[in-house]
Structure 1
Amino acid sequence: MNKDVKINWGNLGFNYIKTDYRYISVWKDGQWDEGRLTEDNMLNISEASTALHYGQQCFEGLKAYRRKDGKIQLFRVDRNAHRMNESTAKLLMPEVPVDKFIDACMQVVKANEHYVPPYGTGATLYLRPFIIGVGDNIGVKPAPEYIFSVFAVPVGPYFKDGLTPCNFMIADYDRAAPYGTGGQKVGGNYAASLHPHRIAVDRGFADCIYLDPSTHKKIEEVGAANFFGITKNNEFITPKSPSILPSITKYSLMDIARDYLKMPVYERDVYIDNIDEFKEAGACGTAAVITPIGGIEYKDKLHVFHSETEVGPVTKELYRILCGIQFGDIEGPEGWTYLV
């Protein structure tokens, strides 16, 4: 670790910190090179790169966790690899072989292992794999070359108050078009969310909730995270739509709810006018893990779920089990964790 870097592990935010090494590989003439680690955190690309002009780029997010025994593990990294390739297919970019993706993540964690926060701090090492279209290309067509890279940043909780209920408002904007790229992890979806997010924060909310772009009647995403609710019948419900990013955290919670808590689990439409069916609600994703939703403002009225100040019991248990598996305290399903 750079001797000039002094990190207060218990007070980390979700901000960029330059670590020692990152992985980079170039696709050219129809194939990826072997890839390598580098200390250089700057990319030198053509001014005509498709990533700059036509948004031909996608990314992933996952974490490395320090276990109680001091070892480090990744959580469901294979799912990130497959999801990235779903994004590359949509944007006509070359896929990254799953083994290459996993190996790149492993190399970056090993090379920056001193940046993996100590067990018990709640902090993690966040990995950001990405692919961008580069090279000299001025027309609207796939790039002639691509860069695949993975860098790492030690992070604390995405929301600074941790597992504390937050209030959200319904956005008047769409984050993605029907049958567009909402189901892929591409930068354009996030660019579209910046303005609505600012409006929500200026009004005192943590973020906004997006309704389906076709009818504006169904809940889709909560800012940059997926929505889930616990019904009064103790069912785990999450929205289903082609324009929702398939959150690895969400699908993990679905498995935990069904297999560990023995709850019925359904992926279906969630109508905004029917949110009183839920006794608890939350947002979930790699960065936020779980953010309990205290209330949702819709048509100038705040609908409160379990509480604006206390976390519901089911949400709390889902969080405990998920984090327990991620940090190695609870045995997860086979294949969920990868020892570095």
Structure 2
Amino acid sequence: MTYQRIDELDFVRGFALLGILLMNAIALLQLPLPDAGTGSEEYQRLLYLLVEARFFSMFSFLFGVGFYLFIMRARDKGRNGYLLFLIRIAVLLGFGYLHSIYHPGEVLMNYAICGLLLLPFYKVNRWVNLSIGVVLLGVFAVFGAKALMPFPFMLLGVAAGQLHLFQRIQERRRMFEIASVVLVAVAAAALQYQYGLAPSEPFVPIIMEGTGDPQLEQSNHYLKAGLLIGPLVAFAYMALLLLLLQIKLIRKLLDPMRAMGRMALTNYIGQTVLVLVAGQWLGLEGLASWMEVLWLCLGIYLFQLIASSIWLHYFAMGPLEWLWRAATYLRWPPVFNRQRLGIGEVAAKSIL
């Protein structure tokens, strides 16, 4: 099988970047707790219902899929996929280190370490990878071990790559549609259950055991429930998006999300830069309301959608993707988009 670029992966990456931005902005701007009885209070509640532990999970899963496809493409070209991947994650580790100077909670260094752990699983049977990933994910979710959850998501991504899951959506479309509807319905019920545990007041978004404080215990239950159902909700989000992409009009309207996903590394680090710069210029750090930061994030995301579409109309890949590829293969990749595939024109029309 020839492994071509899969547009659906880029759509999901572009979508995941929205949730990652919403969560990262809260930490980057060091927001105080929202005031009780305000829109910011409800936004905090919904953020930890609909976003927390959902979008980073999607990104981790896609990293696993990308890991498998990268090595397979290298093998198809007669190259040493293991060596190239080791170089690739070494460069990613460097990006992560530089990024961590400004964003201590960044994930790229963790992804690089998890990438090393993934290497032995490349040739493991797909069903074994799937089983190990499900078991580890279940154990980590039950114990609230959020920091350990990216690895099993990546392992599930490897299994998805081995199963050619994304390539076979059209081939088994009816089965996919039924499974997606069931998954979304179950996830909606799980979210309703978690929302029933929501604290009645603004809460510190950290799980703190043994405090004896009823308000803290309530927020603990809410946050733990979010981690427990997180994998289910993350996969439901992906399934719903992929389901919507089967509709031509929606696929065309969402095309800028594909461009954004093709530049995921550039946009992920770019979000940190934009949030910090906006926070400095607008005096938001430690002072802004949660709702103000929501509008800031939506503005940044819209800007990145447009900028990514325009950039890829003229250039072959994002600037950081270009550096990453050059350092991995030790040669200069193409700079300009000579074929002009029309990504920018379609995206601009769908936005305007």
- TM-score by structure 1 length? 0.32
Bigger RCO of structures 1 and 2 (CA < 8 A, at least 6 apart): 2
Point out the structure with the larger helix share: 2
